[in-house]
Amino acid sequence: MPTILFLTAYPEGDASCRYRIHPFAPYLENAGYECTIAPFATDKLFHSIKRRGGLAAKSIEMLRCAARRLALLPRVEDHDIVFIHRDAFPFFSPAIENLVLKRAKRSRRKTKVIFSFDDAIYAGHEDVSTLSHPRLYRWKHGRGYDEVMRSADHVIAGNRILADYARQLNAATTVIPTVVDCGKYQMRAIDVDSSRPITIGWMGSPTTAPYLRMIEPALQRIEKTHGAKVQFRFVGCPEYTPDLDRVTSVPFRLETEIQELQQFDIGLMPLPDTAWSRGKCAFKAIQYMASGVATVASPVGITPEVVHDGATGFLASTSQQWVAALDQLIVSASLRSRIAIEARRCIETNYSLQAWAPPLIALFDQLSGRAGILERETIAA
């Protein structure tokens, strides 16, 4: 049985790992692979690094995790495929990634290495001041990954823009978008009760919450126009407290992620037009759309490829466009319903786990040499 070692920086609590790695593992196992997911960080470290302070305790846990990761390196040669998702080691990259590549190349099993990324890591985060440990992030992202991409047997990029960058370094690059399991993401019931307030919502993290400042004037205008007919709910950064009257801001909880999304009638995805943001995979919009939430988003990066203006959502650049899009959705329940239905259909076809698991399995079959074996077995049968 071919074996795959997934090296990730963080455990399943990290959204990128939760959606780009863990859901695919059962499909790969059903296809005949043995999968091992090995995060660098423990749950303890993952949750602690999101908070400021406690440097001594964090350093001790970081050292323990580093020792565990270094102890795992010799096992690279025992696997048929090693899949590095963004970082094998979350800081001071790409030193450990390069060690993985060297070990794989000298292995008797001819271990193949896949490098996967879903952010513009080559550009670096445009505003590290929003992060809990900005100095570490200055070392984390940059052009050092170029050599990793160049040396990998295959590169998986989260969208077309990232793939265009990767193909300058490695022609063996495939786009696998960040997807949702449509079995878990059920479409919310479309509520046409005109007496109930319309919930305008956002889900994200402290790193993306500052983007909401871009559209605060539009949200204030909407509240002034519609009054008690609208309410706002922000999930993922309780510190964000905009100047709105009817607003709730709560922390993100993994166990209620989908339920929170289904409380929204309209979902917000504002983005600045920067190199970092242009590399994003529009996943917030994908989550909204899968949940049957009408989406309004900035037309940055690949977002227009996901949100088709007027069909599966609305795109807005200026404050006036944000107000106009939100106003249309607030006053028309039928428009929200039509947008939601079309959006869900788009996700099922183009951004679902069910649609993308087979191509990913086919890629692993090709890299492991199973494609030829399976083809010969089919012909023999």
Rounded Cα gap, residues 314 and 345, in angstroms = 16
Average pLDDT, the chain: 91
Residue 189 located in a structural domain: no
147 is a domain residue? yes
Residue 185 domain-assigned?
Answer: no
Question: CA 378, CA 381: separation in Å to the nearest integer?
Answer: 5
Shared-domain flag, residues 134 and 242? no
Greater confidence (86 vs 53) lies with 86
Residue 240 and residue 149 in one domain: no
Whether the Cβ atoms of residue 341 and residue 164 lie closer than 8 Å to each other: no
Q: Is residue 220 located within the same domain as residue 326?
A: yes
pLDDT value, residue 47 = 86
Name the phi and psi angles at 81, rounded to 5.
-135, 135
Same domain (yes/no): 13, 119: yes
Quickly state the pLDDT bin for 142 (edges 50, 70, 90). Answer: low
Note if the bond before 210 is cis, omega within 30 degrees: no
Q: What percent of the chain has pLDDT over 90?
A: 78
DSSP classification of residue 12? T
Residue 374, pLDDT > 70, answer no
The answer as to whether 166 is a domain residue is yes
The pLDDT value recorded for residue 52 is 73
- What's the pLDDT score for residue 269? 98
Are both 46 and 102 inside the same structural domain? yes
Asked whether residue 321 is domain-assigned, the answer is: yes
> Is residue 12 domain-shared with residue 107, that is, in the same domain?
yes
pTM for the structure as a whole: 0.91
Question: 132: pLDDT confidence band, cut at 50, 70 and 90?
Answer: very low
Residue 94 lies in a domain: yes
The answer to whether residues 204 and 279 belong to one domain is yes
Same domain, 53 and 83: yes
Residues 340, 374: one domain?
no
Q: Is the pLDDT of residue 21 over 60?
A: yes
Per-residue confidence (pLDDT) for residue 199, from 0 to 100: 97
Rounded average pLDDT over 158-169:
98
What is the number of structural domains in the chain?
Answer: 2
Residue 327: predicted pLDDT: 98
Mean pLDDT value of segment 289-317: 98
Say how many C-beta atoms besides its own lie within 10 A of residue 54's C-beta: 11
pLDDT reading at 372 higher than 90: no
Taking residues 149-176, report their average pLDDT: 98
**Rounded Cα distance, 4 and 147, in Å:** 22
Which CATH number covers residue 11? Answer: 3.40.50.2000
Mapping DSSP onto H, E and C, the string for 149-200 reads HHHCCEEEECCHHHHHHHHCCCCCEEECCCCECCCCCCCCCCCCCCCCCEEE
**Which tens digits make up the pLDDT trace of 79-128?**
999 999 998 887 766 888 999 999 999 988 899 999 999 999 988 755 44
User: pLDDT tens, 211-266?
Assistant: 999 999 999 999 999 999 999 999 999 999 899 999 999 999 999 999 999 999 99
**pLDDT reported for residue 193:** 65
Q: What is the pLDDT of residue 90?
A: 78
Q: Does the structure show a pLDDT above 60 at 13? A: yes
* Residues 321-330, mean pLDDT to the nearest whole number: 98
- 288 membership: H or E segment, kind and range: helix 283-290
The predicted structure's pLDDT at residue 73:
92
Residue 346's domain comprises: 198-350
Same domain? 123 vs 174:
yes
The whole-number pLDDT of residue 57 equals 87
Mean pLDDT on 262-272: 97
Q: Is the pLDDT of residue 380 over 60?
A: no
Domain co-membership, 147 together with 292:
no
Q: What is the pLDDT of residue 140?
A: 56
Are residues 268 and 175 both part of a single domain?
Answer: no
